[in-house]
């Protein structure tokens, strides 16, 4: 795979550039929307949920930002990744190139947007009085894990979308449900132990929880927590790679 990426490096770079230009075409703020959009969403969520969930919680804005940051990255990456094959059908039906290049380019774009918002997040941490420690470096772990997880989910969704157009509507409903099940704006501390354990089955909650442990609790998640995240990543990546390998030629007949 690495050799193929090097071979098609120019195409990959052009795909990333094209996606950026296409996304912000005819917008006044351009890439500024990558930062402004999640901030506006954060503002709305803070105004709406502070009185209900954050009244007795320290650093609630940062707590909320952690959840919104991670979930927005997941939602953008997988949503765009789902369309990566169909959106580039005119290219790979004429030229023999690795089809996962299109998905990777979408993920690079989403990762750059995430990086921009992450800088703003750190600024919010300073304004909210959150103490910075060396453990912040460990945020690279959930970021890398989420990147690979998003790629795996994107491989699955983009493959399914070629054969079943209904996937886009089902995924929209699922992500909305997932948002409410990821404890973005509320704490699960008051839930029974059984319910709290069920949240650990949600990969997105795991990544959000990792961020909050490092940033707000100044603690490093346990080994089993890391293993649980790794298992989620390996499962979706394995399924996604298998689907691309199995249906690689069939994609040409359905786009």
Q: What percent of the chain has pLDDT over 90?
A: 43
pLDDT band at 245 (very low <50, low <70, confident <90, very high): confident
When pLDDT is averaged across residues 47-64 and rounded to a whole number, the result is 71
- Report residue 109's pLDDT band, with 50, 70 and 90 as the boundaries: confident
Residue 152 has what pLDDT? 95
- More confident call, 248 vs 174: 174
Please name the residue ranges forming H helices in 83-220. Answer: 89-92, 100-127, 140-163, 167-180, 193-199, 203-215
Summary mean pLDDT of the chain: 84
193 close to 112: Cβ distance less than 8 angstroms: no
Mean pLDDT of 13-41: 63
Q: Is the pLDDT of residue 119 over 90?
A: no
- pLDDT for 113 equals 87
Identify the residue with better confidence: 18 or 115.
115
Across residues 22-49, what is the average pLDDT? 62
Distance from C-alpha of 199 to C-alpha of 188, rounded to nearest angstrom: 9
Residue pLDDT, tens place only, 161-193: 989 888 999 999 999 999 989 988 888 888 889
Q: What is the pTM of this model?
A: 0.86
Say if residue 52's pLDDT is above 90. no
How far is 66 from 87, CA to CA, in rounded Å? 31
Q: Please give the C-alpha separations between residue 108 and each of 26, 72, 148, 184, in angstroms, as whole numbers.
A: 22, 15, 11, 24
94 against 215, higher pLDDT: 215
What distance in Å separates the CA atoms of residue 243 and residue 100, rounded to the nearest whole number? 11
Asked if pLDDT for residue 229 goes beyond 90, the answer is yes
């Amino acid at each position: 795979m690495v050799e193929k990426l090097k071979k098609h490096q120019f195409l990959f770079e052009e795909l990333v550039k094209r996606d950026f230009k296409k996304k912000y075409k005819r917008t006044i703020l351009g890439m500024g929307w990558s930062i402004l959009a999640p901030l506006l969403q954060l503002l709305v969520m803070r105004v709406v949920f502070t009185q209900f969930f954050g009244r007795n919680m320290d650093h609630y804005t940062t707590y909320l930002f952690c959840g919104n940051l991670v979930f927005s990255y997941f939602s953008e990456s997988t949503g765009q990744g789902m369309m990566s094959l169909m959106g580039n059908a005119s290219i790979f039906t004429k030229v023999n190139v690795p089809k996962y290049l299109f998905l990777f380019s979408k993920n690079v774009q989403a990762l750059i947007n995430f990086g921009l918002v992450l800088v703003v997040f750190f600024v919010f941490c300073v304004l909210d009085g959150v103490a910075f420690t060396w453990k912040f470096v460990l945020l690279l772990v959930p970021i890398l894990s989420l990147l690979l997880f998003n790629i795996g989910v994107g491989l699955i969704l983009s493959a399914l979308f070629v054969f079943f157009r209904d996937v886009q509507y089902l995924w929209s409903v699922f992500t909305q449900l997932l948002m409410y099940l990821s404890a973005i704006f509320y704490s699960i501390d008051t839930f029974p132990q059984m319910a709290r354990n069920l949240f650990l089955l949600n990969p997105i909650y795991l990544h959000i929880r990792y961020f909050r442990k490092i940033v707000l609790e100044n603690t490093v998640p346990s080994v089993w927590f890391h293993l649980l995240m790794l298992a989620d990543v390996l499962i979706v990546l394995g399924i996604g790679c298998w689907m691309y390998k199995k249906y690689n030629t069939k994609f040409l007949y359905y786009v």
